[in-house]
Structure 1
């Protein structure tokens, strides 16, 4: 398992090659790369700034990965999430999973991404043609999370 939070961009090809090299039993690799859109909720996006709590964020991502590895034994997982100021078309996040077979690779990649979208402590602020605004969670992200049939991975205090 590899979890990184960084300001630097990542090279998809190099990252997947390094992940595959960890296990000769790999028969499938599934990847998701999230990018900055130039339009969100009807406004042109000039920049997106992502903030996080160092240490806490990595711990949260590692917990998500461990739950995935419990569901799909034998998978390997890579999560890279960028922070700082990003521009349209910039890469934000990479989730890559390897497994012996494609079904486990696809499912585990989607699972990790669904949980990351709702559970990982990142905050997004967009600079748009109408000013700056914080990006709220989407109902569709909560629905994607709910279909996996488990609650919050991270302990939240009230």
Structure 2
């Protein structure tokens, strides 16, 4: 059986490369430069793909509730319902797909509602026919269907 020997200079070179790799990782993990890199390029967990084409565009819509017309305005990432007599519900609208969005209630000035600020409602636009948008909504386990009419 023939013995293979590693020459001293080769051994020292391999040892040096191995140790420098280990120390380089330690330096990188403790480096302020790495923290700056992570801060600049980390993705915000709330940032997801921006949905550019949505079933409901910015503008005004209307629907009927208890015999009264409710005006809905979608503008600058917010969904606001106007119920007359200075009553309103304002929510942040977050689209997950072209036809699905969540509303997170941010402000309320309306009496006798079963929800409060921070409540989340999910809605899916299930059909579009002309200027009418048919939807199904879910609010804390309560579901219903309805429709919007585009007015502006």
Bigger RCO of structures 1 and 2 (CA < 8 A, at least 6 apart): 1
Q: Whose radius of gyration is greater, 1 or 2?
A: 2
Give the structure with the higher percent helix.
1
More strand by share: 2
Q: TM-score, normalised by structure 1?
A: 0.27
